[in-house]
Structures are given as C-alpha cells and as structure tokens.
Structure 1
Amino acid sequence: MNLEEANRENLDYMIETLADKLQLVNRSMLKSEDFDMDHYYDIKELYDVAEMKGQLSVPEIQAFVSEMSQYRKAQ
C-alpha cells in the first residue's frame, strides 16, 4: 500500500489504524466517512507521527483526537 497516493482507500486505512493506535473505545469519533480528501496529507502526517512513536501517552492521545477533530467534515 502506497500511502503517498491520496485516495479514499488509503484515507480509510489511515483513519482505522489511528483509531486502533489511539485505543478509542468510542470508534464513532473517527469514522472514515466523516473525513474528506481535502485533509488527506494532514491526516497522513498524524498517521506518520503515530507510527513513528509507537506507544502513545494519554496526553498524546488527547492531542491526536483534538487534532483529528479539526479535519472532520462540517456538520
């Protein structure tokens, strides 16, 4: 999988992986359909940081969730 290529499948994969890494109990907070392709590279940047760090602390998890909320589609 080449995540440098911006497509829906890659975005879905990154969001699902981030939800796992962030150990979200309420996975509806990061439903891939709530995000559009406009923020693909912003989300990829967060994905890359999470992959590089491995284990995340509670404050880091909160920061990631907060950052991701900025990229959600307007309701």
Structure 2
Amino acid sequence: MRDLQEASQENIEYMIEAIKTKLRMATAAAMQASHFSMDRYEDIRDLYEVVAGKEKFSISEVEALVSELGRLRGK
C-alpha cells in the first residue's frame, strides 16, 4: 500500500493514474498528472479515496468525478 500522507508529485501521478484507470476515462490521455498543482494535493487525495473505495460508478457519478478532476486541474 502506498503512503499518500506525504504530498509529492509522484503521489499525485499515482492517484491521477489510479482514478483514470478506475473510471475508464475516454479522455485519459488529456488528463496528465503534471497538470495538477501540489497546492491541490489534499483535494486530489480526497477524490482518489472516493474513487478507490467504490467498485462501480453510474454515468452521472463518472461525469461528476471527471468534472471535479477538471476543476482541480485548472487551479
């Protein structure tokens, strides 16, 4: 199990990749971990924990999660 308590670019990359994989994002290539600021680390970790803790997602849930990723990327 990875220690995500420490804010690092490597942990952001790990979490973003895990979120993209779990949500089976069609636009995953456009969502690069390098686009995310370390300032948003806690928010990314919160989103990662939501995604990691759930087996299946409805279409509306996926849309909401992808939207939130986009919001986090833009700041």
Same fold (TM over 0.5): yes
Deviations 1:10-62 (A, max 9, x none): 11000000000111122133211111111011010010011111211111000
Aligned residue number for residue 48 of structure 1: 49
| Aligned residues with identical type, % of pairs | 38
Unaligned runs of 5+ in 1: none
Aligned residue number for residue 4 of structure 2: 3
Deviation of 1:72 (Å) = 1.1
**Number of matched pairs:** 74
Aligned residue number for residue 18 of structure 2: 17
Structure 2 residue matching 1:53: 3-state secondary structure: coil
TM-score by length of 2: 0.89
TM-score by length of 1: 0.89
**What RMSD in Å do the two structures reach over aligned CA positions?**
1.2
* Aligned AA (2:69): M
